[in-house]
Chain A
């Protein structure tokens, strides 16, 4: 079990039951478990969606799409079965929040997904968990079995006459499958490659039926919203960014870990107060604020509110809430290389700009970092990334390109310092030697 951290500034909503044995269904029930779903049955579809809209909950996977609105897109009548999918394919580097939810509070995900199903008139819920989270899958399997044993799932739930089945599904180890349409392909037993959109999942999704697909954290927030009321939840955060988020704070900070902070919290405070500042008394060089896919921020850019809109205004994204802190001994070129190697490894290969772009960025950066760089490489690297941006089949290409463009634009001098066969100025950094650079 992962060590839990805490800080007084945290507002515990989703993490409320963490560390209290809530994976046990009886304990979960003592902690107000499965009350929200019963309330949902009373509220009915429109009532639930109104609460969700009032909560201004936005998707916690990274895109930040308003959840209530997403649910309202699902047609009321459908010839094909409707589905609710929990996206538990948490793979974004620097992000480790959903795993804590699965570990400490799996029933909240089940309950949230059930509420989503009631809201859209679906009778089938799938909880898809990342292949590498095999150990969490076991926890989820037990949680689902326990919920069935109590009669919470299956036929006529809570005597309402509503039938609702919950299934689990394990992934096979692909970052790409975190993309919603690729996840549906994977769930259908096919190659995890994204689908052409439109049609969007709300209209044509899993097995052709209207489908709601939400991140695990989003769904885990739902029961709390119904219990406390959408309006009250919204007030925890800031305008159009309701509630709290689980921020995965990692890198060169004193106290890394997953913290639940209200949306609108200051990034500077998150690093220096919640995270206890830069480790070993060093200075901050850069922070990647929303998982590895987003452009970095420099030290003079961190007085910023952690909400979807403010981050976008600052030219980056809140993303998955994975905050990676880099100290002044970090080689940005090497960090860029490590980042692109991840995307090269995870590109599904479907479209040309992503498949070839990640590969050539990776090759160029590897040679460049090793001292084989020539002056035009710097512009070529940026050119390559810019020509992937917005042109790929799915957002993976953008996710690979954006951080690279950011690094080149903001740390050009560091790139230049690698030129002319000079050794990497940071190569002896002890912390970095732990970051394995894969081929």
Chain B
């Protein structure tokens, strides 16, 4: 758009036509304060902080509602403007409780900051402040009316942003309060957006309130460890008795592709790290009971048992089950260890999406995959299967934003009514299990009868999609195997971009890194395939697999045959004594994602950096545990992690939050591969190996270190030899308030789930 030239405080500035004055000024480094204005939400003009003088206008105007115009002459610092800001702040503070010393927001409060910069130091008012008692609206949301300045950000983000509409305004005038729209408690998705968007301490979090002062925390941006969307979550960390602990998570710094969005899990479900059931000592089972052991004892025992098994039964007698929560480096290392040190292809993981078929389809059709960011800018989105509101909250947020802010068209095909149906231009309800057929239909084969839908709706959908040029197609685990090939072939022809939706934080990474019995990293077919997960467990139950190593997974929760876990020598790396871990012979307490460094690949193929935030004494990262076992088995560590001759910089692995972002030297030298490496525990060495050897993973280390998500590309892989195994896909079926086994140990998720009545009536096609 053409630029408009205007004069602000005597300075000539230019900004794109149609831009709001407050944004144009911001673009040019001129600050105009505001409370109610919030980019991406509807305009309010309510707080009056952004009043400025505009020539030829008799009254001061709100910069947040005034579009710029050619030749406009604006004063943002005139005496009149300065006085207006000051008096507005005086009025706000008149009733504000000034309990800043105990307020959660103290130190990061916009009212404090504004008063510091624009306000008056002393009050003119001597009358008594109005008071109302605090209210609790949900396990995570508390409301303190006297602190509230009524900027309505919470109401808007809940309604417009989340499409939940749980908050409203009651009463009028001085009696106005923010209040739940139904009864006296929130009937909502418990995302906590209202709390983080609150400029003051009016809305506080049940998980964080009165726990710390903001300046006591170090802030570490890492990647959420729950669903597959890859939100950046910034952990507030402070020292604790056992290392350092996370006190809260948010993304107020908008440092990730999720902007300021986080769902309940990204914001609150870090708390299982401090669950009292967490095991922080290695355990060895003696006479049917776990006994605490040292790391050396435990690792030596595991190494000895693995060697014994290899001698007795050969490589085929050992099975390895990996995780979709561990890092790419750990997954890569685990399969490398299995294949080179143990010599077995008996390695698999819990597959929640058919990435192997997806990789084959994309490589065959030369199709593009879409990043999470591209969803928000797509002109049209086709969503087949899945319920992103429950399973992929960031994807749902991106879709809503695309529709709300950019008028994108959403087409939904689902066997059930889902909440995103409200945003859909077309919603086609198909019979459960027939989602896969849709691709063939779209490609031109009339299979309406198979889909159980009126032909009319299907024809309308096909015609509408045919007219779309900038299309992103996202599909859930309902679409598998050859249906993926058909769908991708259809879309590739029109330049559509694809997203294959999987359930956990690094499901995509587990697949890309070759946690498959028949595929190496980058989906390269192996000569002789090992056992897939169910067969491995069958073999363990029958006795042909004699040792089973489970890294960050809980297969016993899904596979009924108990002998699979009781019969073999079972090694489990995890945080808790899960159904699987309880049956282990050796339990190795692992660090969880926020306690280690590495990378993860989200379901869209966006590779992001995990930074070490907290530390719990006694546990070790899976990466280190694997190296230790390898060492004890007498493996050549340099072959597993070629660290010698390199430099030392462990991406914060050992120093964690304490190193902060200030260690620019380390970041630079590390990014250039210059820092000295003397430790095999440095996952960045493995990342280097991945980026050199795994097709599609040639990423920029410099950019990654700078916080830019890197795109991985499936199109670069070799499609030949990738077999479809749709029968091995087991969707996790998580809701907004559950997150597999780990989620069960989150106090916040549990308390919310208990309190929650299913809030949102799904709106479907019927």
Contacts and interface: CB of A to CB of B under 8 A. Distances in A.
Interface of A: 174, 176, 191, 196, 344-353, 355-360, 363-364, 367, 374, 376, 380, 383-384, 387, 390-393
A351 B172 contact: no
Interface stretch (B123-131, B252-260, B265-273): B123-131
B186 interface: no
Nearest to B64: A196
6 contacts: A346-B173, A349-B176, A351-B48, A352-B47, A387-B84, A392-B48
A355 B46 CA distance: 10
The 9 closest A-B pairs by CB, nearest first: A349-B176, A387-B87, A356-B91, A347-B173, A363-B127, A359-B174, A349-B173, A390-B59, A349-B172
A374 B127 CA distance: 12
A350 B46 contact: yes
Contacts of B83: 387
Contacts of B125: 360, 364, 380
Contacts of B635: none
B109 interface: no
A345 B174 CA distance: 8
B150 A355 contact: yes
Given A352-B88, A353-B87, A359-B130, A393 B45 contact: yes
A344 B171 CA distance: 13
B98 interface: no
Given A391-B88, A392-B48, A352 B149 contact: yes
B45 A351 contact: yes
Contacts of B169: 191, 349
A196 B43 contact: yes
A393 B172 contact: no
Interface string B69-107: 000000000000001100110111011000000000000
A249 B91 CA distance: 36
Given A196-B43, A391-B60, A393-B46, A352 B172 contact: no
A349 B45 contact: no
A353 B173 contact: no
Nearest to B126: A374
Contacts of B88: 352-353, 387, 391
Contact of B173 (A344, A360, A387): A344
Interface in B137-190: 149-150, 169, 171-176
B84 A391 contact: yes
Given A347-B173, A391-B84, A356 B127 contact: no
Please report whether the interface of chain B is mostly helix, strand, loop or mixed according to DSSP: loop
Nearest to B51: A391
Nearest to B86: A387
A345 B87 CA distance: 22
B65 interface: yes
A381 to B, nearest CB: 10
Given A387-B83, A391-B60, A353 B175 contact: no
A226 B524 CA distance: 88
Contact of A174 (B43, B49, B172): B172
B84 A380 contact: no
A360 B127 contact: yes
A351 B176 CA distance: 11
Contacts, number: 96
Contacts of A383: 87, 124
B652 to A, nearest CB: 44
Contacts of A347: 172-174
A349 B171 contact: yes
B127 A364 contact: yes
Nearest to B169: A191
A349 B174 contact: yes
Nearest to A380: B124
B216 to A, nearest CB: 32
Contacts of B90: 387
B87 A359 contact: no
B292 to A, nearest CB: 60
B47 A359 contact: no
B46 A351 contact: yes
Interface string B620-652: 000000000000000000000000000000000
A356 B51 contact: no
Contacts of A358: 173-174
Contacts of B49: 352
Q: Which of A352, A355, A363, A374 has the most CB of B within 10 A?
A: A352
A380 B91 CA distance: 12
B172 A353 contact: no
A356 B48 CA distance: 12
A191 B172 CA distance: 10
Contacts of A356: 91-92, 94-95, 174
A374 B126 CA distance: 10
Contacts of A346: 172-173
Nearest to B152: A350
A360 to B, nearest CB: 6
Contacts of B65: 196
Contacts of A391: 48, 51, 59-60, 84, 87-88
A359 B150 CA distance: 15
A347 B171 CA distance: 10
B180 to A, nearest CB: 16
Given A356-B94, A363-B127, A391-B48, A345 B84 contact: no
A349 B175 contact: yes
Interface in B2-57: 43-49, 51
Contacts of B127: 360, 363-364, 367
A376 B125 CA distance: 10
A353 B48 contact: yes
Contacts of A349: 150, 169, 171-176
Nearest to A379: B124
Contact of B172 (A348, A374, A376): A348
Contacts of B48: 351-353, 391-393
A174 B175 CA distance: 14
Interface in B108-136: 124-128, 130
A269 to B, nearest CB: 33
B22 to A, nearest CB: 13
A380 to B, nearest CB: 5
Contacts of A360: 91, 94, 125, 127
A196 B45 contact: yes
B173 A352 contact: no
Given A196-B45, A387-B84, A348 B91 contact: no
Nearest to B127: A363
B174 A355 contact: yes
A196 B46 CA distance: 9
Q: Which of B43, B90, B124 has the most CB of A within 10 A?
A: B124
B757 to A, nearest CB: 26
Q: Which of A196, A356, A367, A374 has the most CB of B within 10 A?
A: A356
Contacts of B43: 196
